[in-house]
């Protein structure tokens, strides 16, 4: 049985990274204030000047349509017997529910499997690359889904949004939290899990980064630390964050935060992901 893996642009995977693998990706959609809609790809980000759009407009994102999904699946099923799909987190999109409906259709039932993704960005990228190696070792769908769940259960993700007003307009943050932030003029840390919640509040990013470092240190060096920044983030924010990590002697890898986070939370949004060491 041949097994393929499908995800979307919320993973940050590029065609270059997945070349010659059993991993495939579909782009989400980005919509401007004047309803111009384009696919979330590196080429379109450059062509449409996404950085400028984020700075000057409140953008929206849209899920992959059922038609696009089915077209891709029909293409993949000429090569594979089973497909496992890792959609953008249901906290950011309704993509999971749409995919589940497709998976229950007669044409795709027991062939197309949808994982309930909570992890985001680089964590998805890391997971599907690990799974591609397990596929080579002959793991079946049930085993791969179990490996995925165990991986997800042990990943820690934190976000420091630049602009909560964007999340407010998209309905992704409670109005009570927005009201508090507006009154106090502070930033927050969101712990991103099945029930995202605020775990820290501070006047500056450095204070919040120290809180995240403290959480990391409590894990006794059993995890790798990843700092995620958007391609349009200010160098000042990146430098100050890296200085704080270095002051605390944290070894980390710098990765890119997928566009969906910049669209919904601002260019200077920061992500922090802890993934268990091998």
Assess if residue 53 is contained within a domain.
Answer: no
Assess if residue 22 is contained within a domain.
Answer: yes
Q: Are residues 7 and 144 in the same domain?
A: yes
Residue 271 to residue 191: CA distance in whole angstroms:
10
- Residue 79's domain comprises 3-28+63-153
Please tell me the total count of domains within the chain. 2
Q: Are residues 130 and 165 in the same domain?
A: no
Q: Give the residue from 131, 153, 175 where a domain finishes.
A: 153
Q: What is the CATH number of the domain that holds 146?
A: 3.40.50.10170
Q: What is the pLDDT along the chain (278 residues), one digit of tens a residue?
A: 899 999 999 999 988 889 889 999 999 999 999 999 999 999 999 999 999 999 999 899 999 999 999 999 999 999 999 999 999 887 778 899 999 999 999 999 999 999 999 998 899 999 999 999 999 999 999 999 999 999 999 999 999 999 776 655 555 555 555 555 555 567 889 898 878 888 888 888 999 999 999 999 888 789 999 999 998 899 999 999 999 999 999 999 999 999 999 998 999 999 999 999 97
Assess if residue 54 is contained within a domain.
Answer: no
> With contact defined as beta carbons under 8 Å apart, do 39 and 21 qualify?
no
> With contact defined as beta carbons under 8 Å apart, do 189 and 199 qualify?
yes
Assess if residue 56 is contained within a domain.
Answer: no
Structure tokens at 152: 């997800």
Structure tokens at 42: 């590196």
Q: Are residues 124 and 262 in the same domain?
A: no
Which of 124, 160, 121, 162 lies closest to 254 in space, CA to CA?
121
């Amino acid at each position: 049985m041949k097994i393929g893996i499908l995800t979307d642009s919320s993973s940050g995977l590029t065609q270059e990274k997945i070349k010659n693998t059993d991993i495939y990706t579909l782009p989400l959609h980005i919509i401007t204030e004047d309803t111009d809609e384009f696919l979330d790809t590196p080429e379109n980000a450059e062509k449409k000047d996404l950085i400028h759009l984020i700075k000057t407009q409140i953008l929206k994102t849209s899920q992959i349509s059922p038609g696009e999904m089915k077209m891709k699946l029909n293409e993949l099923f000429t090569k594979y017997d089973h497909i496992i799909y890792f959609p953008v987190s249901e906290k950011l999109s309704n993509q999971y529910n749409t995919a589940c409906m497709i998976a229950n259709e007669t044409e795709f039932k027991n062939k197309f499997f949808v994982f309930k993704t909570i992890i985001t960005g680089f964590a998805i990228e890391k997971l599907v690359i690990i799974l591609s190696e397990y596929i080579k070792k002959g793991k079946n769908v049930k085993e791969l889904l179990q490996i995925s769940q165990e991986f997800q259960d042990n990943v820690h993700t934190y976000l420091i949004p630049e602009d909560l007003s964007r999340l407010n307009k998209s309905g992704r943050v409670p109005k009570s939290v927005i009201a508090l932030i507006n009154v106090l003029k502070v930033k927050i840390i969101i712990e991103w899990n099945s029930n995202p919640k605020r775990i820290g509040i501070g006047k500056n990013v450095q204070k919040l980064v120290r809180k995240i470092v403290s959480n990391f240190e409590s894990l006794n060096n059993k995890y790798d630390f990843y700092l995620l920044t958007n391609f349009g983030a200010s160098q000042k924010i990146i430098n100050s964050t890296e200085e704080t990590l270095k002051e605390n002697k944290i070894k980390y890898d710098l990765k890119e935060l997928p566009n969906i986070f910049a669209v919904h939370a601002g260019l200077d949004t920061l992500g922090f992901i802890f993934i268990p060491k091998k």
